Amino acid sequence: MKRNGAVAESTQSFFGEFGGSFLPKVLQKEMDKLSAAYEDARHDPAFFAKLDHIRRHYQGRLTPITHVRNLSAKVAGAQIFFKREDLNHTGAHKLNHCMGECLLAKRLGKRRVIAEIGAGQHGLALATAATFFGLECEIHMGEVDMAKEQTNVQKMRLLGATVVSVGVGQRTLKEAVDSAFAAYLANLETCLYCIGSAVGPHPFPTMVRDFQSVVGREAREQMLEMTGHLPDAVVAGVRQAADPTLSHPSRSRRMAPPSPTTTKMSLACRISAALGRLMGPAARRISTTLTP
């Protein structure tokens, strides 16, 4: 990006060559405040203790792991396990970071959370989390997407969220992003923008990664308990940018390398309510990667 006097640069939290923050100064100031607040929260044991309590007693965590024997038998003998995020409350992994973001919003004294959505699952999860914490919720969605996702739109409204219909341009996600950010810029003091994927300026990718890492932490312990081994591979269908963050802890240095006795062990993290449906490219990757 070409730098000029109107843009502030933050070099914090780079992931290799990606990351950081390049924003107008007024928005960078707010991101710096959010970053400092999150750094304080992430080192506060009470913050994550409260989040863990919510996850166990409201979200329905831990989510189970299922050994899919029939599919395993068709993939050259590789043993495949699904981490069942479809059994997380609201039917997907999205509530993991939405609960964390709304808990942070309460800590910051914000009154409203705001987001843009396409398919609607992030909006449903955010509306659920906002209702739990007593926050206002504003969801921006393109008219085309609203027509396709009427069920989620109705659920969000039943949960008390305001769903803003965006009717400019192609009336899809791109325009919803513009609309949501404009609303956020007009209400920086009272709102927290809640990104649904590991994208955007720092600290959003770090926040989503940390909140979603509960999946990897659980899966690591569950696999050790179920099989006595860590998996050879952790596989996620990458449709949304939050998905690759789910296995973050299991990819840490604490993960033991594969041993000769575990060469057929695999963990497939399927982030889908439709258990057993593997998208074509994902299925091909699993079959080629896990062939002994």
User: Partners of 139 in the beta sheet?
Assistant: 115, 163
Write out pLDDT tens, residues 118-166. Answer: 888 999 999 999 999 999 999 999 999 999 999 999 999 999 999 999 9
Q: Give CA angle at 216 (213, 222), nearest 5°.
A: 140
The more confidently predicted of residues 135 and 6 is: 135
- Rounded CA separation 71/86 (Å): 18
Least confident range from 7-11, 36-40, 58-62, 174-178: namely 7-11
**pLDDT score for 248:** 59
Closest listed residue to residue 227, CA positions, set 201, 266, 268: 266
Q: Quick one: three-class SS letters along 14-38? A: EECCEEEEEEEHHHHHHHHHHHHHH
Contacts of 232 (CB under 8 A, 6+ apart): 258, 262, 263, 264, 265, 266, 290
pLDDT band (50, 70, 90) for residue 12? low
Render the burial of 107-146: b for 16+ CB within 10 Å, e for the rest. Answer: beebebbbbbbbbbbbbbbbbbbbbbbebbbbbbbbbbbb
| pLDDT tens per residue across span 214-253 | 999 999 999 999 999 999 888 877 655 455 455 555 443 3
Provide the whole-model pTM. 0.79
Q: What is the mean pLDDT of residues 258-276?
A: 33
Integer Cα distance of 212 and 197 in angstroms:
10
| Residue 173: strand, helix, or coil | helix
Adjacency order of strands within the sheet including 191-193: 162-166, 136-142, 112-117, 191-193
Q: What is the mean pLDDT of the chain?
A: 80
Residues 6+ apart with CB under 8 A from 272: 86, 92, 237
Domains of the chain: 36-50+93-207 (3.40.50.1100), 64-92+213-290 (3.40.50.1100)
Checking if the pLDDT of 269 tops 90, the result is: no
